[in-house]
Structure 1
């Protein structure tokens, strides 16, 4: 049966073949992880990467770049993702430790909490450029403590 004759049946079958295992703000992050998963023999598909590459400001609105694998490979793909998950490290290269719960699952993230960073964010959005000033914090994935 030619592809164009498959119609809605083909679309429904294909939409049930892949499952989203991760979402990324930018397509470059997804491409790196895609390469790692493909190196382990998994079939990987990336969705919404062209939309976000065209206009990065819509990334949060559409849920980011979606990394998809075959349903039967979901467990293996998540194991690989967990093994390569990067958490923040200090200057000596050792994992950072949360002062609240002692976890090492710390992420480096932007934070807009003061007037200067808020004004910079607003001006950047209006000008259509990346933020000129951004304040960064660390956040623990276990207790959500920011420091």
Structure 2
């Protein structure tokens, strides 16, 4: 093989790169991961060295980028369908944790102070367009 490797994505953590690598390999695309062991050893240098780099051969670059675009980075429901904002109907919904009430703050503080797990946190969805916060229930 006389083709060069092309960078198609970079990730902060190796686990994210491994998931995408598995998806690309399922489509018979050979994948090379750079900096994986370095960042697993010291995650704080991820941004300094360009993250965990996902590379494919030049002839597979277009197909790999198409597959990457098909992977949704936003939240999906149990059936795999995009969740829509009840306010603006956008499908750019992120799942996040928040500390909004006194009970969750106390659990977070005690957990942080004594390094006790698990910490109590609430999870909600937030629309990236209108910033509306909501739950599915």
Report the TM-score when normalising by structure 1.
0.58
Given that 2:14 and 2:40 are in contact with CA atoms closer than 8 Å, whether structure 1 keeps it comes out as: yes
Give the structure 2 partner of residue 18 of structure 1: 5
Give the structure 2 partner of residue 36 of structure 1: 23
**How far did residue 63 of structure 1 move?**
2.5
- Tell me whether 1:77 sits opposite 2:64 in the alignment: yes
Give the structure 2 partner of residue 102 of structure 1: 89
TM-align CA RMSD: 3.9
Question: Any runs of at least 4 consecutive aligned residues in structure 1 with deviations exceeding 6 A, and if so which?
Answer: 132-137
Q: Unmatched 5+ residue regions in structure 2?
A: 99-104, 113-118
SS at match of 1:60: coil
- Tell me whether 1:51 sits opposite 2:38 in the alignment: yes
Q: Unmatched 5+ residue regions in structure 1?
A: 1-12, 124-131
User: In 1, distance between residues paired with 2:80 and 2:26?
Assistant: 26
Which is worse superposed, 49-58 or 81-90?
81-90
Q: 1:77-106: CA deviations, max 9, x gaps?
A: 011122233421357864222467532133
| Closer/same/farther in 2, CA of residues 139 and 51 from structure 1, 3 Å limit | farther
Give the structure 2 partner of residue 6 of structure 1: none
Give the structure 1 partner of residue 116 of structure 2: none
Work out which of the residue numbers 47, 50, 54 in structure 2 matches 1:63: 50
